[in-house]
Amino acid sequence: MKILLVNLKTGYFSGFPLSIAYISSYLKDKGYKNVVGVDLGVEPEEKLYKEISNTDVIGFSVMSKSFLGLKRIVKRIKEINPEIKIVAGGPHATLMPDDFFKNQLAEIVVIGEGEETMFELIQVFEGKMNLKDVKGIAYLEKGKMKVTKSRPWIQDLDSLPFPDRDIVDIEKYNQGIYQKMFGKLSIPILGSRSCPYNCANCMPALRKIAGTYRQRSPENLKEELKELIKRYGIRKFDFSDNEVSTDREWLSKVCDVMKELNITWTGGCRINTMDSEILKKMRESGCDLIFFGIESGSQRVLNEVIGKNFTLQKARDTVNEAQKLGIRTCCSFMICIPGEKKEEIDDTINFALSLNSEKVFMNIANSVPHTRFHFNFEKHNPGLDIYNYDFHGYRTENWDETYPEQVKKKIMKRFEKEGYIRYSRNWIDTTMVFYNLKKQGFLATVFREVAHFLKNRDMFHINNAIKRLVK
């Protein structure tokens, strides 16, 4: 049986797809060796079509941002191989299974974690198991969607085989924004699943997608790290976890492992969990860059709209402390949040500019289905079609439709005036990334930008920019 696992393109920068890598290693461990992966984030669609004719089952990993692209791909796949079984999994499949049936995009939709479910589905396709007995799926019966019993979240993450790093050539991620963010190839690794917090931009969707918060043991993590170091000779790792700092005791043990293996690492941390002691420990263990989701420069928005339990002062102190210790910081903010007042956007811009951070992400808030943000977006934009909707033009409270576009221009100007440069050529979309020239040094930045262009001939982004301008 040949199984093809496909990660779809979202249009945003994409990283190594641990989702299909985990499913692949689970299937291989159970004896299904013929598993092939395609990541459309970094590979051409033609590669996928070349694999299709002799494939029995295809599994798509679908995010809400990539759902729209699936229609065209499925049409072409069915033309090449009408017999193929199509399974959909991932965040959008879990949140909106009926979308796939309405558009005839999959026979079976997997809800939640996919390792055990995909294995059982293969058993069904081989006639060894009954479809109705598979937990955590949706399928069509007499034109109606049936959902089976939910599949319990995998409690012992150590029981899973390490993700299959051969599913996509890891060197493909050693370019563009990834290389710029993390330096030379940094390997993504997952220490935990889900998150115990409850922010409005994320929940309850994330709990549905990733379940309750669970961690791997530091020992299990150490085994994988040792394997990766041996295989790639690389000692740079990037935690794909939502937040690595939610459990202090766990993080402290992970730091011990990192220190022992002489690794440098990066990860996302929540401001309220940080203090001098843990930051120092992280630094000593090789942490050289932290992502902080600060999100707003308005205390009211943080408290009342998003539900972050930290103060702006704490955010400022934490960034300063990290910088003092030699840890670079990348702070992420959102503007045009449903429920935010226009003047609170200025608070966010001012706060972001006053921070001592090398990198700042300014995002136009997105609407992920089943989040409290999304419920609010829907309230202000009745009938909103999230897949076709350009978020530069949505309405929130009493704003006019073009407001986010004006705000974007204003932000660009302000950051540039204050000595920041845009360092990502992906800024054209909802995210603007700024790089603090004062901290990095003008010449070093210019040199890196030119070197990057010469090395990568960043034609993809330039082509896209031209297309947009022509449009």
For residue 205, the partner it binds in ligand B12, ligand SF4, none, with Cβ less than 5 to 8 A by kind, is ligand B12
Q: Which of 345, 347, 353 is nearest to 319 (CA)?
A: 353
Distance from CA of residue 403 to its chain's centroid? 27
Q: Is the dihedral of CA 368, 373, 374, 375 positive or negative?
A: positive
Using the rule CB under 6 A, give the single segment among 72-80, 86-94, 250-258, 317-325 that binds ligand B12: 86-94
* Residue with the CB atom nearest ligand B12 in the bound state: 89
- Chain positions contacting ligand SF4, by CB under 6 A: 195, 197-199, 201-203, 206, 242-243, 270, 293
AA letter at 115: E
Nearby residues of 97 by Cβ (< 8 Å), 6 or more positions away: 109, 111, 138, 145, 147
Site string for ligand B12, 95-124 (x = CB under 6 A): x--------------x--xxx-xx------
Distance in angstroms (rounded) separating the CA atoms of residues 110 and 89 = 5
AA letter at 384: L
Q: Please say which residue, 232 or 391, places its beta carbon nearer to ligand B12.
A: 391
Cβ 234 to ligand B12, closest distance in Å? 18
Site string for ligand B12, 359-398 (x = CB under 6 A): -------x-xx-----------------------------
CB-CB contact of 287 with 265 (8 Å): yes
- Taking CB under 6 A as the criterion, which residues in 115-174 touch ligand B12? 115, 117-118
Position 267 contacts ligand B12 (CB under 6 A):
no
Q: Which of 123, 240, 272, 464 binds ligand B12 (CB under 6 A)?
A: 240
Q: Which of 87, 73, 74 is nearest to 4 (CA)?
A: 87
- Taking CB under 6 A as the criterion, which residues in 428-457 touch ligand B12? 431
Cβ 163 to ligand B12, closest distance in Å? 8
Cβ 469 to ligand SF4, closest distance in Å? 34
Q: Which of 14, 246, 376, 424 binds ligand B12 (CB under 6 A)?
A: 14
Structure tokens, 162: 């390490």
Distance in angstroms (rounded) separating the CA atoms of residues 72 and 165 = 28
Cβ 293 to ligand SF4, closest distance in Å? 6
Indicate the pairing of strand 287-295 with strand 264-269: parallel
Alpha-carbon distance values, 142 to 139, 145, 146, 466 (Å):
10, 8, 10, 48
Q: Which of 106, 209, 290, 365 binds ligand B12 (CB under 6 A)?
A: 209
**368 CB neighbour count, 10 Å cutoff:** 22
DSSP assignment string, 173-223: GSSHHHHHHHSS--EEE--EES-S---TTTTBHHHHHH-S-EE--HHHHHH
CB-CB contact of 69 with 8 (8 Å): yes
AA letter at 73: I
Q: Please say which residue, 242 or 376, places its beta carbon nearer to ligand B12.
A: 242
Cβ 342 to ligand B12, closest distance in Å? 22
Site string for ligand B12, 30-69 (x = CB under 6 A): -----------x-----------------xxx-xxx----
Q: Please say which residue, 5 or 437, places its beta carbon nearer to ligand B12.
A: 5
Position 24 contacts ligand B12 (CB under 6 A):
no
Cβ 304 to ligand B12, closest distance in Å? 20
Distance in angstroms (rounded) separating the CA atoms of residues 25 and 446 = 42
Position 17 contacts ligand B12 (CB under 6 A):
yes
Position 190 contacts ligand B12 (CB under 6 A):
yes
CB-CB contact of 441 with 455 (8 Å): no
Position 23 contacts ligand B12 (CB under 6 A):
yes
For residue 18, the partner it binds in ligand SF4, ligand B12, none, with Cβ less than 5 to 8 A by kind, is ligand B12
Cβ 90 to ligand SF4, closest distance in Å? 17
Distance in angstroms (rounded) separating the CA atoms of residues 267 and 263 = 13
CB-CB contact of 420 with 435 (8 Å): yes
Residue 318 DSSP SS3: helix
Q: Please say which residue, 203 or 287, places its beta carbon nearer to ligand SF4.
A: 203
For residue 110, the partner it binds in ligand B12, ligand SF4, none, with Cβ less than 5 to 8 A by kind, is ligand B12
Position 200 contacts ligand B12 (CB under 6 A):
no
For residue 199, the partner it binds in ligand B12, ligand SF4, none, with Cβ less than 5 to 8 A by kind, is ligand SF4
Distance in angstroms (rounded) separating the CA atoms of residues 312 and 318 = 10
Q: Which residues bind ligand B12 (CB under 6 A)?
A: 5, 10, 12-15, 17-20, 22-23, 41, 59-61, 63-65, 87, 89-92, 95, 110, 113-115, 117-118, 190, 194, 202, 205-206, 209-210, 240, 242, 366, 368-369, 431
